[in-house]
Structure 1
């Protein structure tokens, strides 16, 4: 992986099936070809801050949006969110939390930590594909970054 390539969407998802569906939807709808998928929160933090496996990556080349799973191994989505929001170089990156959790405490904590949007993953294939398409369209094409 070219660590300094332009990334518009950073997809952080440990479930291969969900990640594949999200990638297919984004590419099928021509939302972005500049997508990087990482499998856990630890990888996401290394990518965003140019450490570990991503040592030397320009931290000034940040994604336009992060699609972040909540429940992941190693470092969960809320921990990633907290780290991103507490760093001046990453604090303004829009973050959309994607999760299968409907627990109110997860939603409340996500918003307290500064998530931009909280989306419960639809279980049905076509609904999931449509949700990802709309998320990508809004955050990559319509949304204006600071």
Structure 2
């Protein structure tokens, strides 16, 4: 399996944030509830209290899953290694300085940040500033 970038300066310079169009929601399946047929969440987090589903808000609503909608997904296109140090702290700090919450999901290749949809443009600007003038 390919290894991602670990150098923080390179990660920041090359992170190229991409804002996705779909509104996402965070839904919750109670303990013991099965995944509805046909629902394909972006992410699934199993916790003792239930299973969190991150999916397009329209899909959660269509399947009758109670959720908090209004989240935009920003993907950092740089291939960050899972063992890289400092990337999450750097972008979370940049967003926090603007009063923007950051809910982060790390995949094998990329980090994905969920921010309030109404703050997405501000989040993109903060991430672009963090990446530097070449971004």
For normalisation by structure 2, the TM-score amounts to 0.24
CA radius of gyration, larger in: 2
More strand by share: 2
Higher share in helix: 1
